[in-house]
Amino acid sequence: MIFARDPETSCRWYTEHVLRLESTALQVDSGFWFVEVDGVEIGFHPADDERNPFGASVVAYFATGNLSTHREELLAAGARHHRGPLVIDGGRSICQLVDPFGGIFGLDGPP
């Protein structure tokens, strides 16, 4: 679950630029949006300053086949650098980016 000020826009941006899918975003109710990928549901919930403040969620990492290329594409699509890239075990790299809406997410994959 990603808490967002504008769940629809966030869902559509992640679907297109992070997941690289054709738009399959669906609104469930009360401003909640989700996209399902290989049986995994990623939800975009309206931020609630009292219960779930914006930016207080965990950092989700998305697998990618080429971290450097995907990172550059995301930067061109409006994301900003946050941390990394760092080389970790097994020939993998990770990095964190800030989406155009202020939320932090990560990429994980071969450099």
Model confidence pLDDT, tens digit, residues 60-90: 899 999 999 999 999 999 999 999 999 998 8
- Report pLDDT digits (tens) over 32-52: 898 888 777 888 888 877 766
Cα–Cα distances in angstroms (integers) from residue 104 to residues 39, 42, 56, 91, in the given order: 23, 15, 10, 23
Cα–Cα distances in angstroms (integers) from residue 11 to residues 3, 6, 34, 71, 110, in the given order: 10, 9, 7, 18, 25
**58-111 sits in which CATH class?**
alpha beta
Distance CA 31, CA 33 (A): 6
Q: What is the mean pLDDT of the chain?
A: 88
pTM, full prediction: 0.79
Any idea which of 2-16, 40-54, 83-97 has the lowest mean pLDDT? 40-54
pLDDT at 105 over 70: yes
Q: Rounded to a whole number, what is the distance in angstroms from the first to the last CA of the chain?
A: 27
pLDDT at 1 over 90: no
Burial of 35 (0-12, 13-18, 19+ CB in 10 A): buried
What pLDDT score was predicted for residue 48? 77
Q: How many residues does the chain have?
A: 111
Predicted confidence band at 55 (pLDDT cuts at 50, 70, 90)?
A: low
Rg (CA), the chain: 14
What pLDDT score was predicted for residue 28? 79
